[in-house]
Amino acid sequence: MGLSGISHWLIVLLIVVLVFGTKKLRNIGKDLGGAVHDFKKGLNEGTEEADARPAEKQAEADKDDKQA
């Protein structure tokens, strides 16, 4: 008889709320959400930079070809 029923999970949630309080849980959730948002933003910035570099190299190569 593990924690498989919904009533068991509600009891666990109630205990967590009593121990930590709703304000602290809200702050933890807010901080965690901000961290995930910043992580995704960092991933997107990395791919944008990687996509821009080959285009810059191609533009430089085209410029060199025109000068030669």
Note whether residue 51 is domain-resident: yes
Residue 8 located in a structural domain: no
Residue 4 lies in a domain: no
30 is a domain residue: yes
Q: Which two tokens stand for residue 14?
A: 């109630």
Residue 61 lies in a domain: yes
Burial code (b: 16+ CB inside 10 Å, e: under 16) for 34-67 equals eeeeeeeeeeeeeeeeeeeeeeeeeeeeeeeeee
Residue 41: inside a domain: yes
DSSP designation for 3? S
Residue 9 lies in a domain: no
Phi, psi of 48 (to 5 degrees): -65, -40
- Residue range(s) defining the domain that contains residue 46: 22-67
Pairwise CA distance, residues 31 & 22, whole Å: 14
For the stretch 10-58, pLDDT in tens is 999 999 999 989 888 889 889 999 999 999 999 888 777 666 666 666 6
What's the confidence (pLDDT) of residue 47? 74
Q: How far is CA 44 from the centre of its chain?
A: 10
Per the structure, the count of domains in the chain is 1
